Structure formats: C-alpha cells, structure tokens
Structure 1
Amino acid sequence: MKRVVIFASGSGTNAENLIKFFHNRDNVSVIHVLTNNPRAKVLQRCLRFGVNTTVFNKEDFIENHKVLKVLKSLNPDLIVLAGFLWKIPEDILKKFPNKIINIHPSLLPKYGGKGMYGKYVHEAVLRNKEVRTGITVHYVNENYDDGAIIFQTHCYIDSLDNEEDIAKKIHVLEMEHFPKVVESVLFPNG
C-alpha cells in the first residue's frame, strides 16, 4: 500500500479530488492531510472522508521540527502539495528527497516563484496577454516552483476571459489531471 500525505492551506478541492480518486483502492491511500490554516475548508473535507489531519504553525514547521516528526511517523511514499504556499524546510527536503511534488497554476517556468499563486498568476497571465496557460506538476526543491517538471498541460485563453474565467479553466485541468499524475509518480512503471 502506497501512502500519500497532502499539504493544503485553503479550500482543499485538489486534496478532496485526490482523496476521492484513491478512496477504496487497495494499492494507494491518502493517509493524512497537514495544513497551516486552522480555518481551511480542507479540514471539513477530510472529516467527511475520515482522513486524519494535523494543523501546524510556522514554529512547528521551521523551528521545532514538529511537522518533520509527524512526517517521519507517517512514513509517506509521496508528499503532495495541493494549494500549500510555504517553502518546504531543508530538513524535510533532505528526509524525503524526490518524494515531494507540487501543482502550480501556470506553465512553469513562466509565472512561478515567491508570491506567484492563484489569482496573482492569472492576473499576470492576463497582463502579459498570453494566449495559453495551464498547470505544472513538479518536484519540490529548495526554491519556489523550481524543481524538475513531471507534467504540464495547457488551455487556451479567450480574448474575453477574465481572471475568474482562467481560474475555472485551470481548475478543470487540475481536477482531470492531478490524480493521474500523482498515480504515475507512485507507479512509474504502470
């Protein structure tokens, strides 16, 4: 049984999509969700599916290594960042090399880096009059949105699209592709 741990900060639609995708499977289980936001909707979503959660703060994440201890006890095969915005500390990266992946709402390397998430990405895409955008799933390293790319796919931007329209298109791509990409990382040989 492959064990997946998710980090999320907000509504948790990607986390829920992953939980549903792997629900009742005999080879993969989402065993835990960690969040830095005690009011994140992802906590309610996890409760509905019986997935355990941990809420933590910056001190737990960076200074006292509480999050690292939780991760060690869970022994995940893969850690998935699904709308989690904090940079992963070096001690976690070292303990789980090539076992942490992230989804980003642009075609990296465009529109990545610190502060480039959600609506800020979509605003930049519009401002620069891009004709397409998309999603990137990549390995996490010590820099924001800089790890090796695992998967990308795109959608086209209509001349009348606004930020919300782009966000909806990106959401469709995430829902369709992210669980399959996670599965392909867990089972690279099919």
Structure 2
Amino acid sequence: AAVASPGSGLRYLPPINPAQKRQRSRSATAGAFATTRRQPRAAVACRRPHRVEAAAAARDSGGSGDSSHCSGGVRSRKRLAVFVSGGGSNFRSIHEATAAGGKASSGDVVALVTDKPGCGGAEYARRSGIPVVLFPRSKSAPEGVPTAQLLNALRDLRVDFVLLAAYLKLIPSELVQAYPRSVLNIHPSLLPAFGGKGYYGLKVHKAVIASGARYSGPTVHFVDEQFDTGRTLAQRVVPVLADDTPEQLAARVLHEEHHVYVEAVAALCEDRIVWREDGVPLIRTQTNPDAYA
C-alpha cells in the first residue's frame, strides 16, 4: 500500500515491475516516488582520521591526534538530489562515487528528478532503489509535479544539495532561491564560451569545432536563474584535434566530466568550497587547507 510522505504531498509507491514497463506512462501517479528498501543513511560511523586529518584534530583538541574528528563519533553525510534528462552517465558516476570508499563517500543520492520518466537516468535510479520524481508538470507529462510540490518533496527528503547532470529544463527561480550556493551544473564546454540556451549535447561540440577553437572541456558551475551563467567552480581542458568529429570530441569531454564533477561534488559534501570576497568559489585541497585545486 502507498504511504503518505509527510509535508510533501507526494506518495511513495513500490518500484515498477519490469513486466509493467509498457504500462508505466499510464499508471504513473502524480509526483510518485519509487519506494526503496534501503533508505539512505543520514550519518556513517566515523573512521580514525588519516594522517593529515589526525594532525589537524590534535591541534584543535590539544590531544595526540587519536581523537575522532567527528562530533559524537559520527560524521554528517550530505544528501543529494540529481536532475537528469537523458542517459545519466554523470549521475551514475556520482552515485557510484558515493559508495563506501568512493571519492564522494561523504554524500548520499536520495532522489532523482527528471522531465523524462523513461530516460536512462531514471531507469538506473529505479534499478538502484533511488526515488524518482517527474518534474515539471506539462502537457506531455501531466503526472509531473509543480514547483511548490517539488520543493516540499526535497525538504521532506532533507536534501542539502541539488546537482544538475544534463537536465535540459531551466531551473525555476524558487528552487535557486531555496538552495543558495547549493545547486551545481556541469556543461560540456569551457564557459562562458558556447553556453546558454540551445547549447547542449552535440550542438556544443559542433559549435566548438566550427569556431576553430583549439581547446574545449567541461565546466562545473553554480546555478543561477539563467542558463550557464553561474559562477565557475571547476574546469578540465581537452584539446580539439584537427580532424575531430563532434562525436569524438564529445566522448573525450564526457570522460573528463565524470572525473571533474565527482571531484566537485566531493568538495561540496566535505565543506571544502570557500568563496572569495569577489564572489568566486574555490576548492580547498584535501591535504592542505591553505591550498586550492
């Protein structure tokens, strides 16, 4: 039986049986999430600090460095909602990195939001037991939820950060305002070049090659109320070869996306992002709090 979700107005429903795949679009309930047997953990047992962390803990506590660097013996894990519109390869990279021992193991993916319920990212989420919500509501997706209901659901799930991973809709201003400096996106060019409305997928790489640019690469940036204009957090440079096709360039850029986005998410979850007085975000390295990546 469906169980009401407090405050969100949404219902958590059992996962869709593969045999019912063709009936999904008919049977989808407005704003329904797929039930997960394994609920995301809000905290994880604290391990003994690594050498650098132990030294910092010792300085802070005046001890020998054997004391835990986590209050009460547990470390808070950040709760992540990922938005996708397609295959979701960046989503999968992030989800895998949040596993024990992964590069982003200080975070948990607790929801997948999509405007395309049959996309690869949504299918992966269902297989992984991650709740899926359809947003926004539209003529082609009447079962989608409105903005207010989405915000209630994210609050109900105690989401800390929102990550866009090839989500093609403009994020509503209400969401940006509800999560200040807490929404990230990845774009397949070196912003501010080749960004903005209409620049997505192979269109970006075709434009890069046609321009004669010698370099391209992914950009991780904070999200504001426009397409691709938020503050840059991290970039990777990829050479554009003389005989590149858009597909070849896209493959090399995507390879770097999977690395740079995971690193940025890890920094976000570990509170290693600092803001300069001029509003530029910087990532502290894991080993030296006075150095920046």
TM-score, normalising length: structure 1: 0.93
1:27 aligned partner = 106
- 1:43-84: CA deviation from partner (whole Å, max 9, x where unpaired): 2211232212112334556x5522222122122111000010
1:67 aligned partner = 150
Counterpart residue identity of residue 90, structure 1: S
Distance in structure 2 (CA, Å) of the matches to 1:58 and 1:170:
32
Q: Pick from 218, 221, 228: which aligns with 1:145?
A: 228
1:95 aligned partner = 178
Deviation at 1:33, TM superposition (A): 0.6
Q: Pick from 125, 146, 159: which aligns with 1:46?
A: 125
Q: Pick from 92, 95, 103: which aligns with 1:16?
A: 92
Counterpart residue identity of residue 56, structure 1: F
Unaligned runs of 5+ in 1: none
1:65 aligned counterpart, secondary structure = helix
- 1:125-166: CA deviation from partner (whole Å, max 9, x where unpaired): 011011110000000001110001100111101101100001
Distance in structure 2 (CA, Å) of the matches to 1:24 and 1:7:
23
Q: Pick from 191, 195, 201: which aligns with 1:112?
A: 195
The answer to which of 16-25 and 122-131 deviates more is: 16-25
Determine if the alignment matches structure 1 residue 124 to structure 2 residue 216: no
Q: Which has the larger radius of gyration?
A: 2
Distance in structure 2 (CA, Å) of the matches to 1:19 and 1:28:
9
Distance in structure 2 (CA, Å) of the matches to 1:126 and 1:137:
21
- Cα gap change, 1:16 to 1:64, in 2 (>3 Å): closer
- 1:5-35: CA deviation from partner (whole Å, max 9, x where unpaired): 1000100111011000102366321111110
Distance in structure 2 (CA, Å) of the matches to 1:80 and 1:64:
16
1:54 aligned counterpart, secondary structure = strand
Distance in structure 1 (CA, Å) of the matches to 2:112 and 2:159:
11
Q: Pick from 158, 166, 169: which aligns with 1:86?
A: 169
Q: Which has the higher helix share?
A: 1
- 1:74-113: CA deviation from partner (whole Å, max 9, x where unpaired): 2211100001011111111111111100000000000000
Unaligned runs of 5+ in 2: 1-76, 139-143, 273-285, 287-293
2:216 aligned partner = 133
Distance in structure 2 (CA, Å) of the matches to 1:162 and 1:114:
22
Distance in structure 2 (CA, Å) of the matches to 1:28 and 1:55:
23
2:71 aligned partner = none
The answer to which of 128-137 and 170-179 deviates more is: 170-179
Q: Report which structure shows greater RCO (CA 8 Å, sep ≥6).
A: 1
- Cα gap change, 1:2 to 1:64, in 2 (>3 Å): closer
Percent of aligned positions that are identical: 29
The answer to which of 38-47 and 12-21 deviates more is: 38-47
Counterpart residue identity of residue 3, structure 1: R
Q: Pick from 72, 77, 83: which aligns with 1:7?
A: 83
Count of residues paired in the alignment: 189
Counterpart residue identity of residue 6, structure 1: V
